[in-house]
Chains A and B, each alone.
Chain A
Amino acid sequence: MNTMATADPIPELGSTATQATTDLLVLVAAMLPEHFESLLIQLSSAFPAAGLLIATENPAPARQNPSLRLIAAPATAVKWSLPPAIFVQAWRLAEEHHARGVLILGPGSDSLGASALHMLGNAVLAESIDLAVPRYLLPSHAGMIGSSIIYPLTRALFAARIRFPLATDLALSPRMAQRMALAAERITQPEPSEALLWPVNEACVAGFAMEDFDVGPRTLPQPAESEVNTILARVTGSLFSDIETKAAFWQRARRAPTLRPMPPQPPPADGASEVPRMVESFRYAYSNLLEIWSLVLPPQSLLALKRLSLMAPAEFIMADSLWARIVYDFLIAYRLRTINRSHLLGAFLPLYRGWVASHINLTAAGTGAEAHIEALAAAFEADKPYVVSRWRWPDRFNA
């Protein structure tokens, strides 16, 4: 008997014909029901419903476009940053549903307009962009950690002119989603839910195409005031670690990104009342942490900090070159483990506060916030040879 002759070697074509094609997989983080409902409406107007698949941990709203496809996704602790688990989830769902693009939307993404969502999604679907990052229009004194550390470092070392490298919303191509998922799965320390991934750095190393798009204002999820200290340490430490692992890439000379028109300036915000407190905090830290700073910073920087500590709050201005050197020296000390890393990042916080006070004073004096950030990033770029030479030949001058 020949049972093989009765078996049909050709798979049933009928089953694939009934599967809906997915152009864009949208992962939506947990948010309030009314915000989620608003977001669904915007997604419906931004993309054709037939090619859209929305994966979310939010319950389906009562009033929902019936043509929208919603699937349940495991809960991910998305607060103000995207945890590694969401990238793993994005890749698995994209692979399962053969999506041509992935759009990850964090909490508060309902404040983005339909056109912004369309711009991000269309970038990966039609424009062959692997990583589309939004460029938010934020108030002058919002996102200071990103403006003072993340953006200048990413631009100088990775030659990537992405204004918000740690954006809460991203659009990824399938290969970019795969790369991020692999990076997420390699993380063991710190606790994976607390870890941060750097999509821009990953895309640079992989040679993928990336672009950022003006999406207008966005309501950013705000961490609690008491968490600012830990957030700075967490973000800075994670970025320094990522830079350390990618040292072989960024130490090569790269063509600087082409100049772009100045992005729209946010409306000026009043923070002058905070400056005296920050300056006093800086002075207090100078008198108590000088011994620790002297293990990390060269004499010229220490002298400049001494001069700063003698300035009145209204005149407190930190030079861009000084801040660039401080960040680079702390990056070097992080790599060399000059002191315990927790102590290093703790000693960095008062210096950051000093920079914030300086930035507020500059914007109050008439300098545009974005103009100052761009000048700061240019200072980081100009000083890149310094960090490359110290990385290759650590002199341990303070040992």
Chain B
Amino acid sequence: MMQSMIGLFAIALQQEGTMLPLLPYTPNESVWRQMSQALHVSFYRVFSLLIGVLPGILAFFVALVVFALFGKLASWMMRAILNAFNFDARIARTGAPPDWTPATSPTAIAVRATFWVFVFLGLLVGVSAFDTSYAVGSAMTFSLLPYVTRFAGAVVLLIVGTLIARFLARSVLIGAVNA
């Protein structure tokens, strides 16, 4: 049994992207033999799929790491440029509304935003690479990318909505107490 599974794995590695045809039904075969054949087929399919998407997974992580490094470099350059232009002092002179001024300096916000933009781009590139390899490696024709982007958008909406709701709830509470 184990030797047959290893053999199937080796065949799957060599025959990437190919599908083993379904075995025809033979009425005189024993139940155990048919079950064994069905298991072999399913193992082959799963291994083929994993091997097919493995490059995509690696590409996802490589893209993420590379873009994160680019983001680190870009944020370092951004910090140097903004400090040279006295960005914080200029923003303070324009008079941002004090209630909305965050605790960190505008330069720090810009630097962090730059880094995370690059990380997000790396995420998109990585997901796209994973999506391509997944579509090639599996028999299914649907694409994973739209679901990932929609999921990311939903998470962003949830976070923003929670922050706004908390702010409004506190405003209403304090206003009601002081009324």
Q: Between A and B, how many residue pairs show CB distances below 8 Å? A: 46
Which of B93, B96, B102, B178 meets A346, CB within 8 Å?
Answer: B178
Question: Contacts A288-B173, A336-B103, A343-B170; is A241 near B178 (CB within 8 Å)?
Answer: no
Interface range on chain B: under 10, 10 to 19, 20 to 34, or 35 or more? 10 to 19
Inter-chain contact B98/A343, CB cutoff 8 Å:
no
**What residues on B are CB-neighbors of A347 within 8 Å?**
174
Interface string of B31-44 (1 = CB under 8 A from A): 00000000000000
Q: Give A45 to B171 CA distance when docked, in angstroms.
A: 53
Inter-chain contact A346/B174, CB cutoff 8 Å:
yes
Q: Give A342 to B73 CA distance when docked, in angstroms.
A: 38
- Give A225-244 interface residues, CB cut-off 8 Å to B: 229, 237, 241
Which of B94, B103, B174 meets A289, CB within 8 Å?
Answer: B174
Q: Give A275 to B97 CA distance when docked, in angstroms.
A: 36
**What residues on A are CB-neighbors of B95 within 8 Å?**
188-189
Inter-chain contact A337/B103, CB cutoff 8 Å:
yes
Asked if B175 lies at the interface with its beta carbon under 8 angstroms from chain A, I say yes
Q: Give A229 to B176 CA distance when docked, in angstroms.
A: 12
**What residues on B are CB-neighbors of A79 within 8 Å?**
none
Inter-chain contact A289/B177, CB cutoff 8 Å:
yes
**What residues on A are CB-neighbors of B29 within 8 Å?**
none
**What residues on A are CB-neighbors of B178 within 8 Å?**
229, 285, 346, 349-350
Inter-chain contact A343/B177, CB cutoff 8 Å:
no
Q: Give A346 to B94 CA distance when docked, in angstroms.
A: 26
Q: How far is the CB of A97 from chain B (nearest CB, A)?
A: 31
- Give B87-121 interface residues, CB cut-off 8 Å to A: 93-99, 101-103
Q: Give A343 to B149 CA distance when docked, in angstroms.
A: 35
Inter-chain contact B94/A188, CB cutoff 8 Å:
yes
Inter-chain contact B98/A190, CB cutoff 8 Å:
yes
**What residues on B are CB-neighbors of A284 within 8 Å?**
177
For A, the interface residue count at a CB cutoff of 8 angstroms equals 22
**What residues on B are CB-neighbors of A241 within 8 Å?**
98
Measured CB to CB, the nearest residue on chain B to A186 is: B93
Q: Give A343 to B168 CA distance when docked, in angstroms.
A: 10
Q: Give A139 to B102 CA distance when docked, in angstroms.
A: 41
Q: Give A239 to B34 CA distance when docked, in angstroms.
A: 85
Asked if A340 lies at the interface with its beta carbon under 8 angstroms from chain B, I say yes
Asked if A292 lies at the interface with its beta carbon under 8 angstroms from chain B, I say yes
Which of A337, A341, A343 meets B171, CB within 8 Å?
Answer: A343
**What residues on A are CB-neighbors of B175 within 8 Å?**
346
Inter-chain contact B99/A340, CB cutoff 8 Å:
yes
Q: Give A241 to B101 CA distance when docked, in angstroms.
A: 13
Q: How far is the CB of B170 from chain A (nearest CB, A)?
A: 5
Inter-chain contact A292/B98, CB cutoff 8 Å:
no
Which of A229, A292, A350 meets B170, CB within 8 Å?
Answer: A292
**What residues on B are CB-neighbors of A339 within 8 Å?**
170
Inter-chain contact B177/A288, CB cutoff 8 Å:
yes
Q: How far is the CB of B174 from chain A (nearest CB, A)?
A: 4
Inter-chain contact B177/A285, CB cutoff 8 Å:
yes
Inter-chain contact A340/B167, CB cutoff 8 Å:
yes
**What residues on A are CB-neighbors of B98 within 8 Å?**
189-190, 237, 241, 341
Question: Contacts A336-B103, A337-B103, A343-B171; is A350 near B97 (CB within 8 Å)?
Answer: no
Q: How far is the CB of A341 from chain B (nearest CB, A)?
A: 5
Q: Give A342 to B171 CA distance when docked, in angstroms.
A: 8
- Give B contacts to A, CB under 8 Å: 93-99, 101-103, 167, 170-171, 173-178
Q: List 16 contacting pairs A-B, 8 Å CB cutoff, sorted by A.
A: A189-B95, A189-B98, A241-B98, A285-B177, A288-B177, A289-B173, A289-B177, A292-B170, A337-B101, A339-B170, A340-B99, A341-B98, A346-B171, A346-B175, A346-B178, A347-B174
- What are the 8 A-B residue pairs with the smallest beta carbon separation, nearest first? A188-B95, A346-B174, A189-B95, A337-B103, A285-B177, A342-B99, A343-B170, A349-B178
